[in-house]
Amino acid sequence: MQIQVSTEHAIRIVWYLHRHGRGVHATQDISNALNVSYPLFIKIAGMLKRAGILSAVQGRNGGYQLSKPASEVSLYDILLATEGEVKLLRRHNGADNPCEVRSYFQEVQETVIDALSRRNVAEL
């Protein structure tokens, strides 16, 4: 399993907004500071906005801000916003008896989700 580059950028965007205080931050300033291309930034910010992590402010002094404190945004919240659910295995093949391999990977998947859910952006 490997997270997408967009997920890494999303974590950095949320962390940046947390570290630079409350209020609205200009889109271009964030994009430049994090060395994320403007089009990619807009795409990622849109995903984070749909997930309720960021809010956008329109107008001359517009940009983005956190919708909630970084202490309430887990790494798993960001992963869900950018990639969807963590799935190490494909859907069950319909066999009546789940095999030990499947059970093991289900346990690993739950461990990953738990670890990402317990860590919030403010703790980075």
Q: What is the DSSP string of 89-108?
A: S-S----SS--HHHHHHHHH
Nearest to 23 by CA among 49, 62, 59, 60: 62
More confidently predicted of 90 and 115: 115
Model-level pTM?
Answer: 0.88
Averaged pLDDT of the chain = 91
Please state, as a whole number, how many other Cβ atoms lie within 10 Å of the Cβ of residue 83. 15
- Each residue's pLDDT tens digit, 50-72: 999 999 999 888 999 999 999 99
Sign of the C-alpha dihedral computed for residues 124, 13, 76 and 66 taken in this order: positive
Asked whether the predicted pLDDT for residue 29 surpasses 90, the reply is yes
Nearest to 48 by CA among 26, 33, 28, 70: 70
Q: Domain 5-123, what fold?
A: Arc Repressor Mutant, subunit A (1.10.10)
Nearest to 104 by CA among 121, 122, 89: 89
- Each residue's pLDDT tens digit, 78-106: 999 999 988 877 666 555 556 788 888 88
